[in-house]
A and B are shown apart, each in its own frame.
Chain A
Amino acid sequence: MLRLLAPALALTLLAQPLAAQEHEHATCEAGTVALPADLAGWNDRQPMNAGTRENRLETAALVLGQAYDTTLSRTPDVRYIVRPEKPGGSVSYGGIFALDVTEAGTYRVALGSAAWIDVVRGETVIQSGKFGHGPDCTGVRKMVEFALEPGRYVIQIAANGQADLPLLVSRLN
C-alpha cells in the first residue's frame, strides 16, 4: 500500500501547472525517507561533467532513469543555446546536457537544487508543464515536467549556487 501511495504523493507535489519555475521547499536532512518508485534511481548517482558548448556534449549525454552527480561550470564559461530566463550571475554555475528521446511522452527533470531548467530543441525552448518540489527529505528540491517528442534535446541548467548538482531525467508516461 505504501508503495502505491508514494508515487501518488509525488504526483500531488507536482500538481501546480506553472509557466515559471518558482519554488518553495522544506528544509530537512536529505536521504532520511524512502523514495517513491519513480525517483528510485535518485540515490544511485553516477558522476558526470556538464557540457559548456552544444557541439561538445558527447560526455554529457544523459540516460533516462539514471541519476547523476553532475559538476557544473562557472556561468561565464557556458555557452547556452538560448539565454535562460534566469541566467544566473557571474559567480553562479551552469551547464548543458544532451538528451535523446525515442518515444513521445512526459518527461521529468529532477534536481537537487532550485536551479533554472530549460529544455531546448534546436533553438526552441520547450514549454514546461507541471512543476513542484520533490518529497521532503529526499534531497529532490525541484521537479519540472516536459512533454517531448522523439529527437535530440539539450537541457540547460542555469543559476545554480554551486558546482555540484544531483540530476535525474525520467520518463513518466
Chain B
Amino acid sequence: MRGVTAALLALSALIVGTAASRPAEWRWNLPEGVAPPPVPADNPMSVAKVELGRRLFHDADLSIDGTMSCATCHSQRRGFADRTSTRPGVHGDPGKHNVPGLANVAYLTPLTWADPRQTRLQEQALVPVFGDHPVEMGMKGQEAELARRLGGDRCYRRMFRAAFPETRGRIDAEAVAKALAAFQRTMLSFNSAYDRYRRGESGAAPSSEALAGEGLFTRHCTACHAGENFTDQRFHALSHGATATDGGLGEITGLTEDHGRFRTPGLRNVALSGPYFHDGSLETIAEAIAQHGGTVPAFSEVERDALLAFLDTLTDQDFASNQSFGYPEKACGKPLL
C-alpha cells in the first residue's frame, strides 16, 4: 500500500510539475470571423513569450550603445511606423527604407519593402539588430554581448526561463528573435472605423464622402491594395521607383525587370504612418496618391478628398494607444526604470 501511495504521489508531483513548467497558452482576442494568424511550429505562442517579447521590443539594450530599441523606430502612436523618411542607425548611417507599420504583421509575407526572403518574423527581427546593410542597431558580432546584458538582469533570466522552458531559458539571439516575433504576432488591428462599419456596428457608418472614397478605392486601388490588410503582398513598380542607392526587389533577385519594384504597403493606419513610399519621400497621402500615375486615373480634387476621407477610416486608434503594446510599466512585478 505504501508503495502504491508513493507511486501515486510521485505521479501527481510529475503532473503538477509538468503543468507548472508549461507556459500559459496564448488566447487570441479576435473579432468574429477573423482567423488567428499563422504561428510557426518552432515558435508557439505563450503568455510568457509575448510578455518577454514586449519587454525586448522596448529595450534599447538591443542596440550597441543602448540608444535604440525596436520601438525607437516603430512608434506606437504612428501605427508602429516612423515620422522620419528613413531612420539613421546608431552610428548615423542613413536608413534605407521608410519604417513600415506593424499592424497585423503576423498575416503578412513577405515582410519588408524589397526582400522576398524575409517571410518569418523571427528571422526578420534579427535584421535591424544584427544587420549591416545598413547598420541600424549595430549589434553585428555582438551576440555574446547581448546575452551578457540580458543575462545580467535577474528578471530577464526569469522571463526567459518562463518563455523557453525547452532550453531552460537559454538567452541568445534565437530566443530574443522568437520572443520578439511572438509579441509582434499580437499586434492585431481590427478596430478601425472601417472595420466597425464592415461589422455592422451601430454608429460606425462612415461619412458620405468616405463612402464615395470607398467606391473609388474599390474600383481603382484594390488590384494591389487588396484584402483585409490592403496589400496584395506582391512587388510592383511605380514611376516613383528605384534610386541610385535603392534598386528594390532587383537588388535581391538580380533581375532587370525587378529593378524598382517594391512590395505593396498595407494601408491600415495609413493616416498615422507618414511619410510615404519605400523611401519616405512623400510627406502626405495626397502626394502618394498622385505618384500612382498610370496605374490609377487622374483623380479630381473631389475624388482625391473622398479617397483621403476613406483612408482616414482605416485608422485604428485603439491599436495606436493599446497599453499592452506599449513600454511595460513592470517586469517580474517591479516597476521598470
B65 to chain A: which residues have CB within 8 Å? 91-92, 161-162
| CB proximity of B82 to chain A, nearest CB, Å | 6
B83 pairs with A89, CB closer than 8 A: no
Residue A45 at the chain B interface, CB threshold 8 Å: no
Is A24's CB under 8 angstroms from B88's CB?
Answer: yes
Contacts of A80 in B (CB 8 A): 337
Taking CB atoms, residues of chain B closer than 8 Å to A89 are 59-63, 66-67, 69, 149
Cross-interface CB contact of B60 among A19, A27, A83, A87, cutoff 8 Å: A87
Complex interface: chain B residues within 8 A of A162 (CB) = 65
Over the window 55-98 of chain A, the binary record of Cβ atoms lying under 8 Å from chain B Cβ atoms (1 yes, 0 no) is 00000000000000000000100001001011111111100000
Residue of B nearest to A161 (CB): B65
Q: Which residues of B sit under 8 angstroms from A20, Cβ to Cβ?
A: 75, 77-78, 83
User: What is the CB-to-nearest-CB distance from B118 to chain A, in angstroms, rounded to a whole number?
Assistant: 24
Cα–Cα, bound, A160→B82 (Å): 20
Q: Is residue A33 contacting chain B, with contact meaning CB distance below 8 A?
A: no
Interface hits, A87-122 → B, CB 8 Å: 87-93, 114-115
* Residue B281 CB within 8 A of the other chain: no
Chain B residue with minimal CB distance to A83? B337
Residues of B close to A23: CB separation below 8 A? 84, 88
CB within 8 Å of A: which B58-97 residues: 59-63, 65-69, 71-72, 75, 77-78, 82-88, 90, 92
Is the CB of A25 closer than 8 A to any CB of chain B?
Answer: yes
Q: How far is the CB of A28 from chain B (nearest CB, A)?
A: 11
Instruction: State in angstroms the CA–CA spacing of A125 and B75 once bound together.
Output: 18
Are A161 and B90 in contact, with the CB atoms below 8 A?
A: yes
A9 within 8 A of B: no
Q: B61 to chain A: which residues have CB within 8 Å?
A: 89-91
With A20-B77, A91-B149 given, is the CB distance from A86 to B83 under 8 Å? no
What's the minimum C-beta distance from B286 to chain A, rounded to whole angstroms? 18
Q: What's the Cα separation between A25 and B91 when bound, in Å?
A: 11
Interface residues of B in 115-155 (CB under 8 A from A): 149, 152-153
Residues of B within 8 A of A48 (CB): none
- When C-beta atoms are compared, the residue in chain B nearest to A131 turns out to be B83
Q: Which residue of A lies closest to B335 (CB)?
A: A83
Chain A nearest CB, measured from B73 CB (Å): 9
> Which residue of the partner chain, among A18, A25, A27, A88, contacts B67 with CB atoms under 8 Å?
A88
CB distance from A5 to the nearest CB of B (A): 25
B75: chain A residues at CB < 8 Å are: 20, 22
Please judge, given known A-B contacts A27-B92, A161-B66, whether A22 and B83 are in contact too, CB under 8 Å. Answer: yes
CB of A159 closer than 8 Å to a CB of B: yes
Closest to B73 in A: A22
Contact B60 A92 (CB under 8 A): yes
> How many angstroms from the CA of A115 to the CA of B153 in the assembled complex?
24
Q: Which residues of A contact B336 (CB under 8 A)?
A: 83
Please state if A161 and B82 are interface contacts (CB–CB under 8 Å).
no
- Interface pair A75/B66, CB less than 8 Å apart: yes
B16 nearest CB across to chain A (Å):
36
The reply to whether A91 and B87 form a contact with Cβ atoms under 8 Å apart is no
Q: A92 with B66: in contact, given A83-B337, A87-B337 (CB under 8 Å)?
A: yes
- Residues of A contacting B87 with CB < 8 Å? 22, 24
- Given the known inter-chain contacts A27-B92, A161-B90, please indicate yes or no for A90 contacting B82, CB distance below 8 A: no
Cβ of B149: which chain A residues have Cβ within 8 Å of it?
A: 89-91
Shortest Cβ distance from A93 into B: residue: B66
- Residue-wise interface mask of B (311-331) relative to A, using a CB-CB cutoff of 8 A (1 in contact, 0 not): 000000000000000010000
Asked whether, in the complex, the Cβ of A86 is within 8 Å of the Cβ of B92, the reply is no
Rounded to whole Å, the gap between the CB of A152 and the closest CB of chain B is 23
Given contacts A86-B60, A88-B66, A89-B60, 10 further A-B contacts (CB under 8 A): A23-B88, A24-B84, A24-B86, A83-B336, A89-B62, A89-B67, A91-B61, A92-B66, A159-B60, A162-B65
What residues of chain A have their CB less than 8 Å away from a CB belonging to chain B?
A: 18-20, 22-25, 27, 75, 80, 83, 85-93, 114-115, 159-162
6 inter-chain pairs at a CB distance below 8 angstroms, sorted by A residue, are A22-B84, A24-B85, A89-B66, A92-B65, A161-B66, A162-B65
Q: What are the 6 tightest A-B residue pairs by CB atom distance, in nearest-first order?
A: A92-B66, A89-B66, A89-B61, A161-B65, A89-B60, A91-B66
